[in-house]
Amino acid sequence: MTDKLTLGGIYKTNWDNSTARIIGLDDVEVFYDGYWPHDNSWTFSGNFKRKCYFYRTSRQAFEEKSVQQHILPLTTEEKQAFRPDLPMRLGRSKLISWNDFKVSNLTELPGNDFLKQRLEADKIVLLPYGIKGGLKKGTIVTADNGSYFDCEELIWKAKRIQESANNETSKGIGIYRIGFEIRLPSFYIGQYIDSAGIMTE
């Protein structure tokens, strides 16, 4: 079952009888593109200058409700836009909340293994969520070393952005891949459970 899904694989889905192409996946979640037969186009591929938020579902749901038709490997341009090599989520913790950090150094937290994650990109877009839950305009952030973000650096940058958009205390923290804009990977600032409800723990 776990060997069924392939990056670039094209599948017929039975939740709406559409055609989907996998553009990112891990053990938990799948990002996919949608095919439009009336003009032989895809929602995201070829629209690299737009702001795009990926279609997503759980890996289990995709495995159970789709059949592979063939494989169309990602092109170089698609790999640059979709960045399937990047983590789909990072910096998740129940122990702290946006607007309520009780430590000045995140390494003081027990169970801080989540800080070992790294984001191999020099720039990304971070989108905070507002008081009513909707996403706000994104902010471009740049890695301090000009090459990659370590997780602690990214969390502190996200904290400043989130606090400026919403003064409510969150239920934990998390940073989640959402798509791309202006040819940069985009991530939304969220809580410990993702907004799509794919993560249960």
- The predicted-structure confidence for 127-150, as pLDDT tens digits, reads as follows 999 988 899 999 999 999 999 999
Q: Does residue 197 lie within any of the structural domains? A: no
pLDDT for the residue 1:
37
pLDDT for the residue 60:
94
Same domain for 179 and 142? yes
Same domain for 43 and 22? yes
Judged against a pLDDT cut of 60, whether residue 181 lies above it is answered with yes
**What is the average pLDDT score of the chain?**
92
Same domain for 142 and 168? yes
Judged against a pLDDT cut of 60, whether residue 2 lies above it is answered with no
Same domain for 144 and 162? yes
Q: Which domain holds residue 76?
A: 9-82
Q: Pick left, alpha or beta for residue 8 (phi over 0 → left; psi -120 to 50 → alpha; otherwise beta).
A: left
Same domain for 135 and 117? yes
Q: Does residue 176 lie within any of the structural domains? A: yes
Count up the domains in the chain and report the number: 2
Judged against a pLDDT cut of 70, whether residue 160 lies above it is answered with yes
Tell me which of 56 and 132 has the higher pLDDT.
56
Q: What is the largest CA-CA distance in the chain?
A: 55
Same domain for 183 and 112? yes
pTM of the model: 0.93
Task: Name every residue whose Cβ is closer than 8 Å to that of residue 199 and which is 6 or more positions away in sequence.
Answer: 28, 89, 92, 174, 192, 193
Q: Does residue 199 lie within any of the structural domains? A: no
Same domain for 99 and 64? no
Query: In the structure, what pLDDT confidence band is assigned to residue 109 with cuts at 50, 70 and 90?
Result: confident
Bridge partners of 142, per DSSP, are 123
Q: Does residue 120 lie within any of the structural domains? A: yes
